[in-house]
Every structure is written in C-alpha cells, then in structure tokens.
Copies of this chain bind each other. A is one copy, B any other.
Amino acid sequence: MKVIGKMGPSQKNQNNEQNSPLEFKTLLSKIANDTKIAEGAPAIEDILRCIYRNQPISTKRISQYTKLPLPIISKVRTILERNRILKRDKKGAIYSEEGLKLIEKNLKFKMPYDLKCPTCNGRSIILDDYFGAILKKHKIHSKNRPTVNTSIDQSYATPETATHRAAFMADRGDLEGKRILFVGDDDLTSIPTALSGLCEEVVVMDIDDRLLNLIKNISDKENLNIKTIKHDFRNSIKEEYKNSFDVVFTDPPYTIEGLKLFLARGVEALGKEGALYLAFSHKPINEYLELQKILLNTGFVIYELIPGFNKYEGSEIIGNTTFLARLIGRNLNFNEKIDLNKLYTGEVKPVIRHYKCMNCGELHKIDGKSVRIENLVCKCGGAKFKMIKREKI
C-alpha cells in the first residue's frame, strides 16, 4: 500500500480548508485511480455522501449502501483517514471536524439524510399478511440449509429476500397459473414461491444434491409438489424441459461467463418468449455495460431494475446486496460464446484469502481450491474465522 503513504498527511492536507474545489476533486480522482475504482471519482463521492448521511457507519454498511466492494471501501476509508477527513468511531466511520467543513465546502453536501421509502426499503412492494406468514414458515425451513460451497459461488439470500422475490413475482403477475423454473436455487427462493400456492408448476434445477434434497424434503412436508432435477448447466437442459416455462428465476455466478451460461439455460426453458428474473451483483461500470448488452442481444428488454433488492448472509465482499431485474423477452435467441473455464469468481479472479482463527488467533491461507473456508477447522478446534487480507494471485 505504497500509494497510501504518498497520499498521507502533508502540510497542504493538514491545512485542508485552503484546498480549492478543483484540488479536492483532483484528490478524489487520485483516490479512485489508486484504488482502481472503475467508476472513478464519482464513486469516492458516493462513499463520502453515504458517510455524510449515515455517520457513524460501518464499512459493511457503506458497501451495502454504495454497492461497492468491501475491500475497496476499506482502502478508501484508510486513505481518507490518513488525509484527516475521516475518523474512526466505535460504530464506524465519522467525519473529522475539518473533514466535514472540507466536504461541505468542496462537494456542497447539504442533505444529511436520504429519502428512501421506509415502508418497502426501496423494493417497491411489501409483504402482506399472507406473504408474512410464508416468511415465518420459510425462516424455519432455511435453518436447515447446508454450508455454502464457495467454489461454485454459492451464497445464501436471506429468507426475507427469498420471500420478497416471491411476492414481487406474484405482484407482477408472473406466478398465478405460471410454470416457473429456477435455474439454480441455492437461495431456496422456490420454497416461498411454491408456498404462495399461485403457480401451476415449480421446477428447480441445481448441481448440488444437498440443496435438491433439502428442497425435496420441505416440499414433501409442506405438500408443495416442487420438482427437483439434478443438472449441470454446462450442458443443455433435457428436451422435455425446453420451451416449457413461462418464467425463469436465476441468481447465477457473478461472472460474465456465469451469467451467459445460466441465461442460455433460461432461454432454453422459455423458448421464444417469457419473463426472466435476474439477481446479479452491482458490477463495475464497464462490466455492467457488457452484461446489459448481453441481455438485450438475447432479446430481453429490461422492464424493471431495482438496485439492492437482494440481501445475502455472508458474501460481504460484494456488499451483501445485488440488484433484481425483471426482463421480458420476445423472439429470444441466445447466441453468445461461453468460456466454460471462467464461470466462477475463483476462476476469473483467483485470490488467496488470509483468515484468523477467532479462537486462538492462528493464521490460515485459503486459495478456495484445495480447502474452502466453509470446511476449515483450526488446529485448536475453532471453526470461526475472520478474513484479514486478500491477495491476488
């Protein structure tokens, strides 16, 4: 982190109030450059605004709010602290007195709160009593989930998110009398969907037997009639399922190739037309553009896009939230090439993570291949770890 040193307190920075707006914007651009944020200075401004509206606020919540990755927030915070703009409070980041004056002068911040709807949290729909009861049931079922398999980018949406997804699809008229396929379902969204009693048919395809068994068991217990099928999406779906669904829900691995693969299977299931719900992480802008071009080229129109709709347990790395898009297709035609060697995050951006045992303090290195974090047990017997560093390979 040599760069940070360079950005550290100099006489000029200690004398912050004399900075001109232009100099301040140059500082933001420099921070964006040094931390390699694709969105540039505006992303640094977003972080500063988020803290202005919510201080004190934790790195994790800044990440959720700004949709920027946790390690980036962490680096930016450190640089801003060295520049004496931010301080550390027990509850998280707050402005120093000079920092506050500086940003109010240079960025003209004036609105120390936001206007997000407190009732729906910006999701645009609410759970009524009927879906509220479904959430209650689903919370109990969710307790039986197996540990995540991070090597295939599993990470679990909260039971609230799964139930909001079902309610959202119900509101948009995509459940009543419809046949819906889940292209992968580590989030168990199929459970509240089937519990709604609205669908004609609910089918789940997934590669993970543990999840399929769990869904089957819940389905039997609740008499939901969910059909579970073990399937590796690197292969086409069986002929009998092609062109057989009205709606597809998918939350693919958050790589471009992962998106393409799951999208290809979704299009097979829909045939020429239908609705596809896509949960996907907020990507850096160039990748986001590529992603949306793929959707449009396949014949999908983005009818609705809600940032931060989905919340996850764990996966702090992507700020715990992803967007939900409702896509409508006519004349669908998937014809992108897919690189099967770059499906999962670990394949596209291999990293070594350093974990500290919460019990004895022992350090562990994990490359996500031989040993995965969910299977790690420390020599002391401890099984809780805190990630302290990520290194690109």
Contact = CB atoms under 8 A, between A and B. Distances in A.
A126 B115 contact: yes
Given A273-B40, A303-B305, A304-B305, A117 B115 contact: no
A120 B110 contact: no
Given A118-B119, A119-B119, A304-B306, 15 more contacts: A39-B328, A40-B273, A49-B173, A108-B200, A109-B177, A111-B198, A114-B171, A115-B131, A117-B119, A119-B120, A122-B125, A292-B302, A302-B305, A303-B305, A303-B307
A239 interface: no
Interface of A: 38-40, 42, 45-46, 49, 106-111, 113-120, 122-128, 131, 167-168, 170-171, 173, 176-177, 197-198, 200, 273, 285-286, 288-289, 292-293, 296, 299, 301-307, 328, 330
A119 B124 CA distance: 9
Most interface-central of A127, A131, A286 (chain B CB within 10 A): A286
A176 B124 contact: no
Nearest to A199: B108
A117 B111 contact: no
Given A45-B173, A109-B177, A122-B124, A330 B117 contact: no
- Copies of this chain, count: 2
A201 B307 CA distance: 28
Contact of A124 (B39, B116, B128): B116
A97 to B, nearest CB: 20
A256 B127 CA distance: 38
B124 A117 contact: yes
Contacts of A122: 124-125
Nearest to A328: B285
Contact of A110 (B111, B171, B176, B330): B176
Contact of A289 (B125, B170, B301, B305): B301
Contacts of A301: 285, 288-289, 292
B116 A330 contact: no
Nearest to A331: B286
Contacts of A200: 108
* A40, A131, A177, A305 — most chain B CB neighbours (10 Å): A177
A289 B285 contact: no
